[in-house]
Amino acid sequence: MKQHLLPLAMLLSTPLLTSAQDTTPAEAMIAQWVQTEKLITTEKLDWEKSSAQSQQLIDLYQKELSLLDKELNDTGKNVINVDDEAEALKQSIHSSEQARLSAIGYLNQIKPRVFSLYKKLPDHLQKELEEPYLALGNEVTNSNLSDSLQAVIKIQQETARFNRSYTFGEQTIELSGQKLHAKTLYLGLSCGFFQAGETYGKITPTENGWVFTEQPSIKKELKKAFALEQKTIPSCFFELPLQLNELNQPVQPNQ
C-alpha cells in the first residue's frame, strides 16, 4: 500500500480528515512556529541594525582616539619646544647679566678719564654738560647703569662735536686779577682767542683749565674775526697763531 504525504496546506484545509480535537494542537504549534520565525527575523534585523550602529560608533571612537593620540603627540612636541625656548631664554638672560656686569665694570673704569676730560672743557661747555657730569658722581651699579651710560655718551659726543668745530661765544673771564666780560672764539679744544673791550689775547688749555693771556700782537686779526662773526665787515681772510695741542700734553701759558 502506498502512502502519500499531503501538503501542510491541504491538511489545514481538509477538516474531514481529522477531528476537531486533533487540529487544535497542530494549528497552535504551527502558529507558534510562524510567530517564532517572525520573531527570529525581527531580532535578526534588529541585531543587524544594532551591529551596524555599533560599528559606526566603534569607527567614531577609533577616529576620536586617533585624533587624541595625535594631540598628545603634538603636545609632547610643544612641551619639548617650550623647554627649548625656556633654555634659550635662560641663556639670553645669563648673557644679558654678563653684559651688564661688563658694562658696569667698564664704566667704573673710564669714569676718572671722563672726569679729567670734563675739567678741561671751556666753562660754557662745562655748564651745558653739568647734569650728565653730576650723574656720574655715584658708583655705577645695576640700578643706575642706564643713566651712567647715557651720561658718558653725552659728554663724549658733545666734546667730540665741540672739538671738530670753531665756536664763537661770550663768557666772563679772569685776567690780571680782574673779571671781564669777553667775546670768545674756540678752535675746538686746541686753543682759543678772546676780546674783552680793547684787550685781546689767547686762550690756552692746561691741566688746570683754560688760561687767558693778553696778546696785543694779534689784536688786528682778532678784530677782523669778531667783526666777521657779527657780519659788520665783508668777508675776508684773517691770520691767527694756531698751535695744535693734545689735551694730555698741555701748552704752557707763556708759549
Do 129 and 170 share a domain, yes or no? no
In a domain, 183, yes or no: yes
Mean pLDDT of 218-238: 90
Q: Where among 143, 160, 177 does a domain terminate?
A: 160
Whether 55 is in a domain gets the answer no
Domain boundary among 160, 175, 200: 160
Is 78 within a domain? no
Q: Please, what's the b/e burial string for 127-144 (b: 16 or more CB within 10 A of its CB; e: otherwise)? A: ebbeebbebbeeebeeeb
pLDDT for the residue numbered 6? 40
Task: Break the chain down into helix, strand, coil percent, rounded to 5.
Answer: 60, 15, 25
User: In this structure, are 120 and 198 located in the same domain?
Assistant: no
Nine cell digits for residue 71? 594631540
Report residue 11 as a C-alpha cell.
491538511
Q: Which of 160, 179, 198 is the last residue of a domain?
A: 160
Q: Does residue 138 lie in a domain region?
A: yes
The verdict on residue 254 lying in a domain is: yes
Question: Does the residue 96 lie in any domain?
Answer: no
- For residues 175 and 242, membership in a common domain is answered with yes
Name which of 18-27, 47-56, 152-161, 242-251 the model is least confident about: 242-251
Same domain, 182 and 211: yes
Alpha-carbon Rg for the chain, nearest whole angstrom, is 55
CA distance 118 to 93: 35
Q: Summarize pLDDT for 187-219 with one digit per residue, the tens.
A: 998 899 999 999 999 999 988 789 999 999 999
Structurally, the chain folds into a number of domains equal to: 2
Average pLDDT, rounded, for the chain = 76
Residues 138, 152 within the same domain:
yes
pLDDT value of residue 154: 92
One domain for residues 178 and 208:
yes
Percent of the chain whose pLDDT exceeds 70: 58
**223 and 150 within one domain:** no
Question: Would you say residue 10 lies in a domain?
Answer: no
The residue ranking higher by pLDDT, 208 or 132, is 132
75-122, pLDDT tens digit by residue?
Answer: 555 545 556 666 666 666 667 788 888 888 888 888 888 888 888 899
What residues make up the domain containing 156?
112-160
For residue 93, count other CB atoms closer than 10 A to its CB. 10
Q: Which residue has the cell 619646544?
A: 81
Residue 186, number of CB atoms within 10 A of its CB: 24
**Together in a domain, 192 and 207:** yes
212's grid cell:
687767558
Higher-pLDDT residue of 183, 26: 183
**Residue 251 covered by a domain:** yes
Same domain membership, residue 188 and residue 121: no
Cell of 89: 631664554
Question: pLDDT tens digits, residue range 133-155?
Answer: 998 888 888 888 888 889 999 99
Predicted local confidence at residue 96, as pLDDT: 76
- DSSP assignment of 215-248, as one string? -GGGHHHHHHHHHHHHT-S-------------TT
Residues 170 and 255 in one domain: yes
Note the pLDDT of residue 37. Answer: 63
